[in-house]
Chain A
């Protein structure tokens, strides 16, 4: 009960903040919520199943381009384009899972990294369609769902909040379901799970598809809300970001991805206001956190104060 209260409480606070935040932070928070949704997707595979992927940018981009190319070349309205983005992320993550899950550990990291790089290069190669590095702007007229203009800051904030709520609820529901509990068991001791009669392959496949689909949904929404799709979202940097956010916030906690994304975003935002060497400040803080809160902020909270925190 306490757990449900905490998460609903956070969503209520985010809802209320909409009315009090100044425009700048208002826009930031919308962005953070979409990126945190991406991190929640990442966390399902990394934090709960124990599989470290270095290729999630592929899923984020699959969603973004599934949506963006649908609008750009097939004149899809925003809602069907969004669905196209979600479906393409599901397909790409399923396909990659079938290949990458033949490996484990370091090999899994390398295989996911390589496929994501291949995806990035594919986007560049078909520059005629994707406009490569430069990317393309999604026109405001195409960013309407049911007459609601998603480029308007208030609508955008609510759309981001809806996405974030869905991802949060899916994650919370998943990890309390028998399927999710088996994923956690795989993280703890995969061989034992096999010897209890579960197909660990089928479970990891499911986890990767859910993880990739949530990531891609975040990617598609990001493109739609901020009106741009570009190859940089498929680059290795965007595979590392969710890993960092999740590590900082707490791998294997439901709120960790949000806390990590929020923390990292404002760490860079505030330190870049002080000095041009802002990455130095960010780096030092990250090192300190890794030293003194190795399980991330929410992980530390769980260890010290609230053992049952999901």
Chain B
């Protein structure tokens, strides 16, 4: 596997311009002769589909939900960053670039991140033109807020529903192209396999979720916009159907997978309340601007929070990090919450929660001010937990939220398979080892609206693409592989449910293994143990899973089983990637790599690279390749929040 980043030469600020000039074009009259498949209709997939169709390509777009409007981008709350500097507070493309690369703990590629910052401004203009109702100042200009500890106000928002409004904007552009016939939309279709012809991505096999029938689709290029793999952990803030299958199938066909152990764990989520819990809900981290985090000073103290006097409380973030206090970055806040709970000081019925207390803020600013800032979040919290944060401290606990790792892509967003592109959360591209708040929406739309179109033209314009239809034997071979996989999945269900396990029971077991050994803090010993335990869960799955029903019908258990089968294989590269990366960086702490003050210690001498895994066949350990990261414009610095 050759990792050629294809980053253009020249000064950082001129690379993208230069690259667009040197990229090949496709004559407008010829574009209609080329077909592109887009899998996924989140911000990246919907925006790419609409844009490519506007440019004149024939586009086939696929989504797993009943409508392209429902992809998980819709759940993003906070906002979207852009370097507009509308607030005249010192922001610039350079500063957004720097903040993003520093936030990623210097584990991303300079050129990609700089381009992201450059196109961020176009995104806002595009969304405004579409009629996205961003918040406005009284004078009619766009409003901004500071988000996630940024020192400038560069975040654009539409109430607490920014993701929804941006997605509905992209969905409306997509709908317009569906109406013109340039996009054919295939809802309730799940990608099951990637089809290669002569080593190039030329199509996909999908399963119609309603009928269970397999379909084949051929094209000149395939774009994956299939999101992240946070659901490997079973419990995460991801939507229930979010999965790794499309990316994993591509990996098994030769696409390198980059940094699979880079997973963001968000500190402010509503805690787990029972074994029946199906997903976790994120509460915006803006709450930490006014809330104070504490636990009882004595382990095992089960008194109600109001009965614990001030001197018997441990405001651990404030005492440990006096200058940042409750506003330490996500990873530091998450790790410390876990440490407190591990020390027996956790609260709530499961003892896996810490308090986030607004009592002081209410005393200081008054109830009305606090409600104005956080009213909708308090309401959301009360709806789920039946407790009002005005009168009782909130309980929070970290949860898996976003995956920075993903398919390795070059500067063109192309994977190691020619003709296969990956955009949005499913690539590894821009966030390094940690993602800044309000940057996921920015990256999804940057990739889809403003970058992948150039890449598709360049690829089609510079590649000899023979006529390939779905009659090609590669498609029937791939279909047969999928049929066999489904048969194999259903095999253990013959003979009924006696002594069998459900898909979710096994998924919960995998989730716990990942959470315990590949969560916020990792160590060699634990990861090695996990690698011994994983095959046992895999074996249990294939021998004992019970899936009711058949393959050729609407069968939600079978859908979940197929996704879990891929998570079970994928988990192995998460563990080995974590094992290999013997440094603390970004979102995770490697216990062997700490400073004297027990803080994360990055190791630039040995790990300033992207770890890219190459599939070596079933049962064989994946092979590691490294893309060394070169910093010519910024100097990596160690973080300190003391």
Q: Do A and B interact with each other, yes or no?
A: no
List residues of chain B with CB under 8 Å of any chain A CB. none
List residues of chain A with CB under 8 Å of any chain B CB. none
